[in-house]
Structure 1
Amino acid sequence: MLFISYEGAAQKMHSLKVNSEKELHQFFRRTGKDIPIISGHRGGKFKDYPENSIEALAYTLQHTPAFFEVDPRLTKDSVVVLFHDATLDRTSTGKGKLSDYTWEEVKQLKLKDSEGNITPYRIPTLKEALLWAKGKTLLNLDKKDVPPEMIAKIIDENDAAAHVLLTVHNVKDARFYYEHNSNLMFSAHILKPESLQAFESSGIPWSNIMAYIGPNLTAENKMILDDLHARNVKCMIGTGPSNDKLKDPAERMSSYQELIAGGVDIIESDLPIDVAHALSKQTTKKSKRAKKG
């Protein structure tokens, strides 16, 4: 196992070994022989480990290789932090809008876990998360209220292009980043055939794209999945609003397996450790793309 020191204690962690933009593109290039990839939505939803916290990322990596979707937002004084909601109440000890608080004020807050329990952990900055993630995992930056120019600058300043994906909802957003740095990797929302055609015509290489195709595998997006696979693009289903909600654990585990059997390459889940257990037989093969430290 790979030993990494965090919060003063040595922890055994899995890791994703991606060391360059070229390797990042290769990681998301579909070959037809790839093992499934797991993504922790907002880092994961756990008791004692709050969403969008570095501690949640570390906890997940103790159980499985994974990358993570996280949510950059701005404080009042334009510090970029990881936080999903526009308001602080649900997942922190703060009240009201995050954008009404300075970074110095945000640092005093504590994060709450998925059950509403106050934890010792605080809201991290995007810079802190990028520095922590290097050599361990990849971060997929969702689009919230941070201007793309600011996101691009932070990636540049922290030499993070090799371990970052950028969620883009349309070609316009992707083109801005691509023109800034043609090596950047995108998590592109491709939910309809028109979106696929727009990216096809965009001039952005498919090698720069991993595709989010929705919360369920349907007849319509199965056709999109097949078309994307023909372009060697890996496809992701986000199970937060769908399979993750199934109450019966056995049914939920089976549903994850069915997605992979249906051709899905990546499952983005609030419950990444559960997904790892469900897919253990598919993810224990030796692979350069999901190395167990």
Structure 2
Amino acid sequence: MNIDKYKITKKVSLANTDTFKEIEDAKDKLKHIRREISELQDVMYAHGKYSMLICLQGMDTSGKDSLVREVFKDVNARGVVVHSFKAPTSNELKHDFLWRHYIALPQRGKICVFNRTHYENVLVTRVHPQYILGENIPSVTGLDDLDDAFYHKRMERIVYFEEHIAESGTIILKFFLHLSKDEQKKRLFRRLRMKVKNWKFSKDDLKERKSWSAYQECYEDAINRTSKDFAPWYVVPADDKATARLIVAETILQSLQSYKDMVEPSLDKETLSHLDEFKKQLEND
């Protein structure tokens, strides 16, 4: 699969980017790829020098939760950690906006998924700037201070944050699950119709839907300003869930495969010289 066509290397227009793509036998292909991801994560764990941060963003119903479940189903439980960031707690608001994300970063050898990410601080808060007031920032005295320059400066800080952790060995992949408004409507109806999915519905979903255009503008601006070689954005067509999962999985796999120095450590010479002896000890046990 050519994943580069989803990678943002130049200015993107979301309105002119497809939300639908269907790949034949996507579910079966995913089964094979996620096993390969699992094997490479084992190598990454043994190697102990890299970690991987997967950032998932998208409108409500874009399929983030189910994507995490399906893509990482075969990865050793010790090897993947998922953080779903909700509204900041009172304690989190007493720190800078990146603090809670920094302390959730993966240990070397592990994959960490941010299901909603540090980008919420330039997305949700840009659509609803009143949320920023809860951070008690000295330079912000009112909503008039929250102009484009404020959010662009935040994006610069995010880029510095990502550059720093990338230099420390964290492989960063950022995915925007690009959903159409019509498909979101269908999925929201499904939540209302199907009893087993009722719990997923919130009246806030409809409230946020009214800000669809504003969110698209904010996503587009953030993606264009923060897609870097060390932390690229991928805009993934998300109207077909199986295809979206496959594209994300293939991107993760190809990224891991590109690190040729990531290999399992060799046994020391002393241990290697006594392997036959150790085998005999076990045979005679």
Report TM bin, short chain: 0.3 to 0.5
**More helix by proportion, 1 or 2?**
2
Larger C-alpha radius of gyration, 1 or 2? 2
Report the TM-score when normalising by structure 1. 0.32
Greater relative CO (CA pairs within 8 A, separation 6+): 2
Q: TM-score, normalised by structure 2?
A: 0.32
